[in-house]
Chains A and B, each alone.
Chain A
Amino acid sequence: MIGFFLRRLGESMLAIWGVVTIMFFVTRVLGDPAALLLPIGASAADIEALRDQLGLNQPLMVQYFHFLTSALQGDFGTSFQHGRDAMDVVLERLPATATLALTAIAIGLVIGAVAGSVAALKRGSAVELLVMAVALLGQATPVFWLGIMLILFFAVNLGWLPTGGYGTIWQLILPAVTLAVFVSASIARLLRSSMLDILQEDYIRTAKAKGLLRSTVFFWHVARNALIPVVTMTAILTGELLGGSVVTETVFAWPGIGRLIIQAIEAKDFPIIQAGITLIAAIFVLINFLVDLLYGVLDPRIRKAR
């Protein structure tokens, strides 16, 4: 177990290093930030002076090693737009993104788990058909369009909820529901198919033949095993939402990390882009690391296999 722990830890570190390296070289292609920072008509000498000051004139490898050592200390430089430490700016946006992502995951997980189990247990019924049809539709709907439709209906036509913004619980409802629809559709479909697989297993027949209560069979034998792929999916979705709800944050003017990074890409604000993506990748890798450890708890077979 300790060997496995250390190996996974090493792999996680390697993944983060890879992300940081790829990102460094990609962002260096983005353009010349020095020319952008100065007013139009600035002399070539002024641009050159600023490039020197920002360290953009050094050889690429020197810049890379400098970047890597500062990144290890969480120092990504000063944001060109905000004039403050880039990581600080990114971290300020973390609560907004985390609130939205976790609310959406929580709502989506509950709805998806209930819908998925009902669909699996009521195989062939009208309920299963309905759940699966709605889930299929939910997966086919782009989140940004769903968001726009919800705004059109609940904010513009009915006037019940605000169209966007951040601060009150009312402003959280529409974006959270938008993302939760996608989450619950994915979870419901996955849980149904993994439950159907498990219901065919011999140990379920044995459990039923022993005369166990139906609820005992469901919670101890079916649900527990069906949860494993759901945990993986939830981890992936959490990671995606923590960094990838860019379009939803844009639609609802939600001041999260995704929107910050989009604006930074438009302004070619390297420190923000780099700090933001590194943070997201680190969170993502950490979540996956924790999930791998959790597997052992959920499934003793995996624990043994190590």
Chain B
Amino acid sequence: MKHFITDLYKSKAGLVGAVLIMVIVLVSLLAPVLDLPDPTRGDLRARLVGPTWTSLFAPGAHPLGTDEVGRDILSRLINGSRITLLVATTAVLLGGIVGTVLGIWAGYKGGLIDRVLMRLVDIQLAIPLMLLALLVVAALGPSLRNVVLVLALTSWIRYARIIRAQVLSLREREFVQSAHAIGASTLRIMFLHILPNVLTPALVVGTLELARVIIMDSALSFLGLGVQPPTPSWGRMLADGRVYISSAWWAVTFPGLAIVLTVLSVNLFGDWLRDYFDPKTRSAK
């Protein structure tokens, strides 16, 4: 753990990513006590007010401006981050659990299960992820739960493939063979001996998946298939602001910046995490 921290501290990019993630998570968690204007209540006398940088702490001001019905953009961004983070982490966790379990199962058991599962992965890979997500959300109807399910559905294959490959080599290792020899059950071997050894790659995939899922989530809400209004979401803010692009640049600029900043910090941290756990790239430094 100590080495983990010092290595992170030495890697500037990883550190920047980690700090930014902490700030974003902290701000989104603290949103209820930050005394922000109501993100869902408009003020028709203050429609499309431009940003005023100096008024960050002035009461009743709109530091990042307002949208087409006079809602405070800063407040909507912060409240939107709660939804985005909730959706993305739940989806990545769900996809991660399903993908890891199936990956271990296919890799350890091999045979028919393995072949069926890998064909299934191939089939899913033949549909562009965005189209698959659109199709399923359209079929189930857009809601918080369905968006999480769809994003998890696009995510599980990445874990399954990588974990399966790991398990194929772990299966032949001595500690697994000896566990088998002293009569440990298949379930016991899979969960007590193999699972701990694949958690690290799963964690690395999960971090990089988080970034992809955040973008996909905002794309879905941009197309109107994400979390439904009045709940604020970054993608929806972009879609709504796009109509007023010629008169109110702030309405389309800030939600996008929020997405970029979040995805960038997750990617920075994820890249470092991958290198940290990969001895090959670590020694190359």
Which residues of A are at the interface with B, using a C-beta cutoff of 8 A? 11, 14-16, 18-19, 22-23, 26-27, 29-30, 136-137, 139-142, 144-145, 148-149, 151-152, 156, 196, 200, 239-240, 242-244, 246-247, 250-251, 258, 261-262, 265-266, 273, 277, 280-281, 284-285, 288
Contact = CB atoms under 8 A, between A and B. Distances in A.
Interface string B117-158: 001101101111111001110111000000000000000000
A258 B259 CA distance: 23
A141 B260 contact: yes
Interface in B211-267: 211, 215, 218-219, 222-223, 238, 242, 245-246, 249, 252-253, 255-256, 259-260, 263-264, 267
Interface of B: 119-120, 122-123, 125-131, 134-136, 138-140, 211, 215, 218-219, 222-223, 238, 242, 245-246, 249, 252-253, 255-256, 259-260, 263-264, 267-268, 284
Contacts of B264: 136-137, 140
A90 to B, nearest CB: 13
Given A139-B267, A140-B267, A246-B130, A148 B135 contact: no
B122 A145 contact: no
Contacts of A265: 134-135, 138
B67 to A, nearest CB: 15
B131 A246 contact: yes
Contacts of A243: 127-128, 130-131
Contact of A247 (B120, B222, B249, B255): B222
Contacts of B125: 15
Contacts, number: 125
Given A18-B119, A247-B223, 14 more contacts: A15-B122, A16-B126, A29-B140, A30-B138, A140-B211, A140-B260, A141-B263, A156-B245, A247-B222, A251-B242, A261-B134, A266-B138, A273-B135, A281-B127
27 contacts: A14-B119, A14-B123, A15-B122, A18-B120, A18-B123, A22-B123, A30-B138, A136-B267, A140-B211, A141-B260, A142-B219, A142-B256, A142-B259, A144-B222, A145-B252, A148-B252, A148-B256, A149-B252, A200-B284, A243-B128, A243-B130, A243-B131, A244-B130, A244-B131, A277-B127, A277-B131, A277-B135
Given A141-B260, A246-B223, A280 B119 contact: no
A273 B132 CA distance: 11
Determine which residue in B120, B131, B219, B253 has the highest number of CB atoms from chain A within 10 A of its CB, and name it: B131
Contacts of A11: 119, 122
B165 to A, nearest CB: 16
A29 B263 CA distance: 33
B139 A29 contact: yes
Given A26-B136, A137-B260, A247-B219, A19 B127 contact: yes
Nearest to B281: A193
Nearest to B131: A243
Contacts of B218: 142
A132 B219 CA distance: 25
Contacts of B245: 148, 151-152, 156
A80 B267 CA distance: 43
What are the 10 tightest A-B residue pairs by CB atom distance, in nearest-first order? A18-B123, A145-B256, A244-B128, A140-B264, A140-B263, A243-B128, A265-B138, A244-B130, A29-B139, A15-B126
A238 to B, nearest CB: 11
A156 B128 CA distance: 32
Contacts of A196: 284
Determine which residue in B238, B242, B255 has the highest number of CB atoms from chain A within 10 A of its CB, and name it: B242
Contacts of A145: 238, 252, 255-256, 259-260
B223 A152 contact: no
A244 B129 contact: yes
A266 B142 CA distance: 12
Given A18-B126, A240-B128, A244-B131, A262 B268 contact: no
A29 B140 CA distance: 8
B68 to A, nearest CB: 15
Contacts of B127: 19, 22-23, 243, 277, 280-281, 284
A262 B253 CA distance: 25
A16 B120 CA distance: 11
Given A18-B119, A145-B238, A273-B135, A285 B126 contact: yes
Contacts of A285: 126
Contacts of B259: 142, 145
Determine which residue in A14, A136, A242, A244 has the highest number of CB atoms from chain B within 10 A of its CB, and name it: A244
Nearest to A273: B135
Contact of A149 (B136, B256, B263): B256
A246 B267 contact: no
Contacts of B263: 140-142
